[in-house]
Homo-oligomer: A and B are copies of this chain.
Protein backbone atom coordinates (compact mmCIF):
# COMPACT_ATOMS: atom_id res chain seq x y z
CA UNK A 1 0.00 0.00 0.00
CA UNK A 2 1.19 3.58 -0.48
CA UNK A 3 2.13 5.78 2.47
CA UNK A 4 -0.91 7.87 3.45
CA UNK A 5 -1.06 11.24 1.72
CA UNK A 6 -1.82 13.25 4.86
CA UNK A 7 -1.96 17.07 5.05
CA UNK A 8 0.45 19.26 6.98
CA UNK A 9 0.31 18.62 10.76
CA UNK A 10 -1.26 18.99 13.19
CA UNK A 11 -3.67 16.07 12.88
CA UNK A 12 -4.33 12.91 14.88
CA UNK A 13 -3.25 9.29 14.60
CA UNK A 14 -4.80 6.13 16.00
CA UNK A 15 -2.01 3.57 16.35
CA UNK A 16 -3.55 0.11 16.60
CA UNK A 17 -1.16 -2.78 17.18
CA UNK A 18 -2.39 -6.34 17.44
CA UNK A 19 -1.38 -9.96 17.52
CA UNK A 20 -3.72 -12.12 15.44
CA UNK A 21 -4.78 -15.45 16.87
CA UNK A 22 -4.84 -18.46 14.52
CA UNK A 23 -7.46 -18.84 11.77
CA UNK A 24 -9.33 -16.21 9.75
CA UNK A 25 -12.76 -16.54 11.47
CA UNK A 26 -14.22 -13.73 9.40
CA UNK A 27 -11.35 -11.35 10.09
CA UNK A 28 -10.24 -10.43 6.57
CA UNK A 29 -13.70 -9.48 5.33
CA UNK A 30 -14.43 -7.39 8.39
CA UNK A 31 -11.05 -5.65 8.23
CA UNK A 32 -11.68 -4.61 4.63
CA UNK A 33 -15.20 -3.46 5.50
CA UNK A 34 -13.90 -1.38 8.44
CA UNK A 35 -11.39 0.39 6.21
CA UNK A 36 -14.16 1.20 3.74
CA UNK A 37 -16.40 2.48 6.56
CA UNK A 38 -13.63 4.53 8.15
CA UNK A 39 -12.92 6.24 4.83
CA UNK A 40 -16.54 7.46 4.76
CA UNK A 41 -16.26 9.15 8.18
CA UNK A 42 -15.91 12.94 8.30
CA UNK A 43 -12.38 13.83 9.28
CA UNK A 44 -10.74 10.63 7.97
CA UNK A 45 -7.37 11.50 6.42
CA UNK A 46 -5.84 8.16 5.51
CA UNK A 47 -4.74 4.75 6.73
CA UNK A 48 -1.60 2.61 6.68
CA UNK A 49 -1.36 -1.01 7.71
CA UNK A 50 1.11 -3.87 7.74
CA UNK A 51 1.02 -7.37 9.20
CA UNK A 52 3.97 -9.71 9.20
CA UNK A 53 4.18 -13.49 8.92
CA UNK A 54 4.23 -13.74 12.75
CA UNK A 55 0.68 -12.32 12.84
CA UNK A 56 1.75 -9.08 14.49
CA UNK A 57 0.21 -6.07 12.75
CA UNK A 58 0.09 -2.30 12.94
CA UNK A 59 -2.67 -0.13 11.53
CA UNK A 60 -2.36 3.64 11.75
CA UNK A 61 -5.37 5.73 10.78
CA UNK A 62 -5.15 9.51 10.52
CA UNK A 63 -7.89 11.96 11.51
CA UNK A 64 -8.48 15.69 11.46
CA UNK A 65 -9.61 15.91 15.10
CA UNK A 66 -10.18 13.96 18.30
CA UNK A 67 -13.92 14.40 17.74
CA UNK A 68 -13.63 12.56 14.42
CA UNK A 69 -11.86 9.70 16.23
CA UNK A 70 -14.59 9.58 18.88
CA UNK A 71 -17.30 9.40 16.23
CA UNK A 72 -15.51 6.57 14.45
CA UNK A 73 -15.00 4.70 17.72
CA UNK A 74 -18.75 4.98 18.45
CA UNK A 75 -19.89 3.86 14.97
CA UNK A 76 -22.21 0.91 15.65
CA UNK A 77 -20.83 -1.43 13.01
CA UNK A 78 -17.30 -0.55 14.13
CA UNK A 79 -18.21 -1.23 17.76
CA UNK A 80 -19.43 -4.68 16.80
CA UNK A 81 -16.13 -5.34 15.02
CA UNK A 82 -14.17 -4.07 18.04
CA UNK A 83 -15.98 -6.59 20.24
CA UNK A 84 -15.32 -9.44 17.81
CA UNK A 85 -11.68 -8.42 17.72
CA UNK A 86 -11.32 -8.60 21.50
CA UNK A 87 -13.26 -11.87 21.67
CA UNK A 88 -11.96 -13.76 18.65
CA UNK A 89 -9.29 -12.21 16.45
CA UNK A 90 -6.62 -10.79 18.73
CA UNK A 91 -4.59 -12.43 21.46
CA UNK A 92 -3.23 -8.99 22.41
CA UNK A 93 -3.76 -5.45 21.19
CA UNK A 94 -2.98 -1.85 22.06
CA UNK A 95 -4.60 1.37 20.91
CA UNK A 96 -2.82 4.70 21.22
CA UNK A 97 -4.28 8.08 20.31
CA UNK A 98 -1.60 10.59 19.34
CA UNK A 99 -1.34 14.09 17.96
CA UNK A 100 1.03 14.34 14.99
CA UNK A 101 3.10 17.49 15.27
CA UNK A 102 5.73 16.98 12.56
CA UNK A 103 6.13 14.87 9.46
CA UNK A 104 8.47 14.42 6.55
CA UNK A 105 9.23 11.84 3.93
CA UNK A 106 9.43 11.02 0.26
CA UNK A 107 6.39 9.63 -1.52
CA UNK A 108 7.16 9.40 -5.23
CA UNK A 109 4.09 7.26 -5.81
CA UNK A 110 1.82 10.00 -4.44
CA UNK A 111 3.15 12.48 -6.97
Which residues does A use to contact B, with CB under 8 Å?
Answer: 1-4, 6, 9, 13, 15, 17-19, 48-54, 56-58, 60, 86, 90-110
Tell whether A95 pairs with B99 under 8 Å between CB atoms, given A52-B52, A57-B50, A60-B15. no
Provide the residues of chain B in CB contact with A57, threshold 8 Å. 50
Looking at chain A's contact residues, is the secondary structure mostly helix, strand, loop, or mixed?
strand
Provide the residues of chain B in CB contact with A92, threshold 8 Å. 2-3, 105-110
Residue of B nearest to A108 (CB): B92
Task: Tell me the bound Cα distance from A2 to B90 in angstroms.
Answer: 12
Question: Can you give 27 contacting A-B residue pairs, CB < 8 Å?
Answer: A1-B54, A3-B19, A3-B92, A4-B94, A6-B94, A6-B96, A13-B96, A13-B98, A15-B60, A17-B48, A17-B50, A17-B60, A19-B109, A48-B56, A49-B52, A50-B50, A50-B52, A53-B53, A58-B58, A58-B60, A91-B108, A91-B109, A93-B106, A94-B103, A95-B105, A97-B102, A99-B99
